[in-house]
Amino acid sequence: MESLQLLFHGFTIAAQPMNILWVTIGGILGTIVGMLPGLGPATGVAVLLPLTFTMGPVAALITMGGVYYGAMYGGSRSSILINTPGDGAAIAATFDGYPMAMSGRAESALAMSAIASFIGGTISTFLIAFLAVPVSKFALKFGPSEYFLLYLFALTATATMSEGDKVKGFAAMILGLMIATIGIDMQSGVSRFTFGILELQGGIDFLIVIIAMFALGEVLKSFKNISDGKKQMQTKFGKVWISKADWKVSWKPILRATPIGFFVGVLPGAGGTIASLMAYSTEKQLSDHPEQFGHGAIEGLAAPEAANNSASVGALIPMLALGVPGSGTTAVMMGALLMLGLQPGPKLFQMQTEIVWGLIASMFIGNIILAVINIPMAGLLVRVLSVPPKILYPIVLALTFIGTYAISNSVSSFYLLLIFGLMGYFLGKAKYPTSPLVLAVIVGNSMEQSFRRAYTLSNASFDFLVSSPLCIILIILTIGAIVLPFIQDYMRNKKKAVNA
């Protein structure tokens, strides 16, 4: 009950007109940076950093919170409209969102993404209000071995659920893991596969690979699509809203995806990407028409969108309750807190109730405001599709380059962009799924490092694989992820045979 009281107090702070104004400004800025490839909430928060010094700590944190979940809303806009995910967490939105836009259902896709994000964000804000401390304690149980198995599970689930030939899916996954091994190995200081190039020492930023495989890959594919007449501009636009039928298939996936997102989001480093992909594969496995996934199934968009927003709320827990940044963005927010003279940590959570609960309450309010401004904004954004593709794609291409530059501050990454773009194009043409590759690049390094840590910590033995009940659960899930799709395929073929 104490939480309720504190939450109510938080609302009285967050509902002050100035704070509502700040959260709106932050939300709009966040939506913009979220839409641009290569930029994310970290950039938005950094932009506002000088401004926040003039505000009180509560207003500053509320504004940064606005940027943070605004970016989550924005990230999926470009995924749906131009197949260009703004960050890892928005990848899953391309799977069904972009096919929907291609088949003239962009309005429903955008509306569904906003609605699912709103529901996911709101429910998880409720969860954070009551579960932050116990959940942060639970997250401590995740040591290197648990992380390793979690990454392994996420990877195998993505590789087996992807379309087509499973062998090709696994080959793509291994290629991604190989890309992730480039750079200095933290555990030994040995630099691997860098060919003496200094820029490669720090590893290849996964955002560059995402931009290359999705955005640049799409531009390269567009030559054929345009000449085949597959890609045309949209001239008529409907209302940005969803139909009753859309809602009927989506509400359950949204409710299932929200807790997945929340709990995975809490784990430092794992974050939104894994959460949204796990939500997607869960829905695909539960669905009675999995063959429609990847071809514009609206629940395949709703689930990852809810999970993604929910995870971004969960990621605040380690920062607020433990003073440990759970993601790049929360690291920037923590830096800002430090500059405002606040020491993030358990004490902040207990002592500075005004700040913490003001932030939580502002997340409720921010979610409502963002949902409200995102629907009309989507009505404007969808007009992007009325730009003739022959003009749109060159502009998307120019955006991919500036986005790449924003990530690395170096022109040498342009060459990486071109190399991975071509690689993605050829892999796609030979029917290799690119999402296992991209996910492998994102988690590959952490996965190997976790493995190595676990191996060292268990005195150079493999005991760590069964060292805790959590590990065993994760192993069972991984085996399930490998076996289940094969069983499903088998059952379906049998059914088909019977029907035929």
Partner 1 sequence: MSLSTIMSMVVTLIGALYTFSTLMLPAARIGNPTAPKVFPLILGIALLILGFLLIIAELRNLPKTEEEKKKAKASLAFGPVEKNIIFTILNGILYALLFNPIGYIFSTFIFLNLQLLIFRGKQKWLNSMLISTIFAVFAFLLFNTFLGVFLPTSPLQFI
Partner 2 sequence: MKKALLALLIALMLMPVALFANGNTEGGSSAATVNYPKGNMDFVAPAGAGGGWDLTIRTVAKTLADTKLVTVPMPVRNAPGAGGAVHLGTLQAKKSDDKTITVYSPPIIFFNLNGTSPYGFRNTTPLARLIADYAAFVVKADSPYKTINDVMDALKKDPKSVKIGGTSAAGSMDHVQFLIVAAAAGVKNLDQIDYVAFDDDGATQVMGGHIDLFSTSLADVMGLIESGDLKALAQTSDHRIGTGLKAEIPTCQEMGIDVTFQNWRGLFGSPGMPEYAQTYWRETLAKMVQTPEWKAMLEKYGWDNVYQDAPDFEKFLEQTEASYKQILTEIGMI
- CB of residue 485 to partner 1, shortest distance in Å: 17
Q: Interface with partner 2 includes 32 (CB under 8 A)?
A: no
272 binds partner 2 (CB under 8 A): no
Phi and psi torsions of 191, nearest 5°: -95, 135
> Is 42 an interacting residue with respect to partner 2 (CB under 8 A)?
yes
Q: What is the nearest approach in angstroms of partner 1 to the Cβ of residue 183?
A: 11
Min separation Cβ 185 and partner 2, Å: 8
Site for partner 2 in 305-324 (CB under 8 A): 318, 322-324
- C-beta closer to partner 1: residue 19 or 63: 63
Cβ within 8 Å of residue 65, ≥6 positions away: 23, 26, 316, 359, 362, 363, 366
Q: Which of 189, 469, 496, 497 binds partner 2 (CB under 8 A)?
A: 189
Tokens found for residue 391: 């003009």
Q: CB of 278 within 8 A of CB of 286?
A: no
3-state secondary structure of 173: helix
Q: Taking Cα atoms as reference points, which of 472, 303, 363, 478 lies closest to residue 63?
A: 363
Q: Using alpha carbons only, how large is the chain's radius of gyration in Å? A: 22
Which one of 144, 169, 304, 424 is in contact with partner 2 (CB under 8 A)?
A: 144
Chain residues that interact with partner 1, rule: CB under 8 A:
33, 39, 43-44, 46-47, 165, 167-168, 170-171, 174-175, 177-178, 181, 185, 187-190, 192-193, 219-220, 223-224, 226-227, 390-391, 393-395, 397-399, 401-402, 405-406, 409, 411-412, 414-415, 417-418, 421-422, 425-427, 429-432, 448, 451-452, 455-456, 460
- Residue 490 C-beta: closest distance to partner 1, Å: 19
The distance of closest approach from Cβ of residue 332 to partner 2 in the complex, given in angstroms and rounded to an integer, is: 4
447 binding partner 2? (CB under 8 A): no
Q: In whole angstroms, what is the distance from residue 458 CA to residue 440 CA?
A: 25
Identify which of residues 17 and 189 has a Cβ nearer to partner 2 in the complex: 189
Please report how close the Cβ of residue 166 comes to partner 1 at its closest, in angstroms.
10
Q: How many CB atoms lie within 10 A of CB 104?
A: 15
What is the spatial distance between Cα 139 and Cα 123, in angstroms, rounded to a whole number?
Answer: 20
Is the Cβ of residue 77 or residue 168 nearer to partner 1 in the bound state? 168
141 part of the interface to partner 2, by CB under 8 A = yes
Selected from 345, 379, 428, 480, the binder of partner 2 by CB under 8 A is 345
Given the complex with partner 1, which of 351 and 402 has the nearer CB atom? Answer: 402
CA-nearest of 211, 208, 292, 283 to 252 is 283
Q: Would you state the structure tokens that stand for residue 26, as one six-digit string?
A: 């932050």
Q: What is the C-alpha separation between 465 and 455, in angstroms, rounded?
A: 9
Residue 170 near which of partner 2, partner 1, none (CB within 5-8 Å, type-dependent): partner 1
Q: How many residues bind partner 2 (CB under 8 A)?
A: 57
Q: What is the distance between the alpha carbons of residues 176 and 183, in angstroms, rounded to a whole number?
A: 14
- Does 186 help bind partner 2 (rule: CB under 8 A)? yes
Q: Note whether 141 and 468 are within 8 A (CB).
A: yes
**Minimal distance in Å, beta carbon 206 to partner 2?**
13
CB of 136 to partner 2, least distance (A): 9
Q: Pick between residue 212 and residue 333 the one whose CB is nearest to partner 2.
A: 333
- The residue among 328, 364, 327, 389 whose CA lies nearest residue 101 is 389
**Residue from the set 121, 183, 294, 424 that interacts with partner 2 by CB under 8 A:** 183
- Burial tier of 405 (Cβ tally within 10 Å: 0-12, 13-18, 19+): middle
Task: Output the six-digit token pair for 443.
Answer: 């988690």
Q: Is 143 in the site for partner 2 (CB under 8 A)?
A: yes
Verify binding: residue 394, partner 2, rule CB under 8 A: no
Q: Which residues of 159-191 are buried (b: 16+ CB within 10 A; e: fewer)?
A: bbbbeeebebbbbbbebbbebbebbeeeeeeeb
Minimal distance, residue 347 CB to partner 2, in Å: 5
Nearest Cα to Cα of residue 111 among 285, 244, 260, 290 = 244
**Chain CA centroid to CA 305, Å:** 8
